[in-house]
Amino acid sequence: MTEKTAVVIGAGAAGLGAARHLHEAGVPTRVIEARSRPGGRAWTATLNGMAIDLGCAWLHSADRNPLVAVAEKQGLDIVRHRPPWGAQTGDRGFSAADQVAYHRAFDAWEARMAAAAGRGPDRSGDQLLEPGNRWNRLIDAVSTYINGVELAGLSVDDYGNYADSGVNWRVREGYGRAIAGLGAGLDLTLDCAVTMIDHGGRRIRLETAKGTIETDAVVVTVPTTMLVDGGLRFVPELPQKREAAAGLPLGLADKVLLALEHPDDLPVDGHLFGAVDRVGTGSYHLRPLGRPVIEGYFGGALAAELEAGGPDAFAGFAIGELAALLGSDIRRRLTLLAATAWRGDPFARGSYSYARVGQVPARPVLAAPVDQRLFFAGEACSVHDFSTAHGAYKTGIAAADAAIAALAGG
Ligand SMILES: Cc1cc2nc3c(=O)[nH]c(=O)nc-3n(C[C@H](O)[C@H](O)[C@H](O)COP(=O)(O)OP(=O)(O)OC[C@H]3O[C@@H](n4cnc5c(N)ncnc54)[C@H](O)[C@@H]3O)c2cc1C
* Burial annotation 120-137 (CB, 10 A radius, 16+ → b, else e): eebbbbbebbeeeeebbb
**3-state per-residue secondary structure call for 336-393:** EEEECCCCCCCCCCCCEECCCCCCCCHHHHHHCCECCCEEECCHHHCCCCCCCHHHHH
* Same domain, yes or no: 233 and 297: no
Please give the tally of structural domains in the chain: 2
Task: Please report whether residue 73 resides in a domain.
Answer: no
With a CB cutoff of 8 Å and minimum separation 6, the contacts of 215 are 5, 6, 7, 30, 203, 204, 206
| % of the chain beyond a pLDDT of 90 | 98
* pTM of the shown model: 0.98
Distance 305 CA to ligand 1 centre (A): 21
Distance CA 397, CA 16 (A): 9
Quick one: pLDDT at residue 231?
86
Task: Please report whether residue 228 resides in a domain.
Answer: yes
Task: Please report whether residue 62 resides in a domain.
Answer: no
Identify any residues that bridge with 44 across adjacent strands, giving them in sequence order. Answer: 53
Judge whether residue 1 has pLDDT over 70.
Answer: no
DSSP assignment of 246-296, as one string? Answer: HTS-EE-EEEEEEEESSGGGS-TTEEEES-SS-SS--EEEESGGG-SEEEE
Task: Please report whether residue 64 resides in a domain.
Answer: no
What CATH number is attached to the domain comprising 37? 3.50.50.60
* Full residue range of the structural domain in which residue 330 is found: 84-167+253-341
Which of 8, 21, 41 for mutating ligand 1's site (highest number of atoms within 8 Å of CB)?
41
Task: Please report whether residue 349 resides in a domain.
Answer: no
pLDDT (tens digit per residue) in 124-149: 999 999 999 999 999 999 999 999 99
Quick one: pLDDT at residue 331?
98
* Same domain, yes or no: 298 and 261: yes
Side chain identity, residue 53: D
Kind plus residue range of the DSSP H or E element containing 16: helix 13-24
Judge whether residue 220 has pLDDT over 70.
Answer: yes
Cα dist from 117 to 111, 145, 157, 355, 358, whole Å = 10, 21, 4, 13, 11
* Burial annotation 68-103 (CB, 10 A radius, 16+ → b, else e): bebbeeeebebeeeebbeebbbeeebbeeebbeebe
pLDDT (tens digit per residue) in 227-260: 998 789 999 999 999 999 999 999 999 999 999 9
* Same domain, yes or no: 337 and 258: yes
Distance 119 CA to ligand 1 centre (A): 31
Distance 56 CA to ligand 1 centre (A): 8
| Contact indicator for 271, 253 with CB cutoff of 8 Å | no
* Same domain, yes or no: 283 and 160: yes
| % of the chain beyond a pLDDT of 70 | 99
Task: Please report whether residue 59 resides in a domain.
Answer: no
What CATH number is attached to the domain comprising 131? 3.90.660.10
Average pLDDT of the segment spanning 371-398: 98
Q: Which of 285, 313, 341 is the last residue of a domain?
A: 341
With a CB cutoff of 8 Å and minimum separation 6, the contacts of 387 are 147, 148, 162, 251, 352, 353, 354, 379
Q: Which of 341, 373, 400 is the last residue of a domain?
A: 341
* Same domain, yes or no: 123 and 267: yes
Q: Which of 341, 367, 397 is the last residue of a domain?
A: 341
User: Which stretches does DSSP call E strand in 54-107?
Assistant: 58-59, 78-79
Task: Please report whether residue 63 resides in a domain.
Answer: no
Which of 9, 35, 44, 56 for mutating ligand 1's site (highest number of atoms within 8 Å of CB)?
56
Task: Please report whether residue 269 resides in a domain.
Answer: yes
The helix/strand/coil state of 139 is helix
Q: Atom 19 in ligand 1: which residue has the minimum CA distance?
A: 388
Q: Atom 49 in ligand 1: which residue has the minimum CA distance?
A: 40
Identify any residues that bridge with 52 across adjacent strands, giving them in sequence order. Answer: 45
| Contact indicator for 352, 249 with CB cutoff of 8 Å | no
Picking from 263, 237, 227, the residue whose alpha carbon sits closest to that of residue 367 is: 227
Distance CA 277, CA 261 (A): 29
Average pLDDT of the segment spanning 372-385: 98
* Same domain, yes or no: 383 and 278: no
Ligand 1 site residues (CB inside 6 A) read 9-15, 32-35, 40-42, 55-58, 60, 193-194, 221-223, 226, 232, 253, 255, 340, 342, 347-348, 351-352, 378-379, 387-390, 392
Strands 374-376 and 217-220: parallel
* Same domain, yes or no: 139 and 275: yes
Distance CA 293, CA 53 (A): 12
Average pLDDT of the segment spanning 322-350: 98
Judge whether residue 355 has pLDDT over 80.
Answer: yes
* Same domain, yes or no: 275 and 242: no
Judge whether residue 2 has pLDDT over 90.
Answer: no
Side chain identity, residue 45: A
* Same domain, yes or no: 262 and 335: yes
* Same domain, yes or no: 196 and 291: no
* Burial annotation 21-59 (CB, 10 A radius, 16+ → b, else e): bbbebebebbbbbbbeebbbbbbbbeeeebbbbbbbbbb
Judge whether residue 174 has pLDDT over 80.
Answer: yes
Tell me the torsion sign for CA atoms 120, 352, 186, 74: negative
Distance CA 142, CA 80 (A): 23
Judge whether residue 334 has pLDDT over 90.
Answer: yes
* Same domain, yes or no: 373 and 388: yes
Distance CA 29, CA 6 (A): 5
Judge whether residue 410 has pLDDT over 70.
Answer: no
| Contact indicator for 188, 39 with CB cutoff of 8 Å | no
* Same domain, yes or no: 93 and 240: no
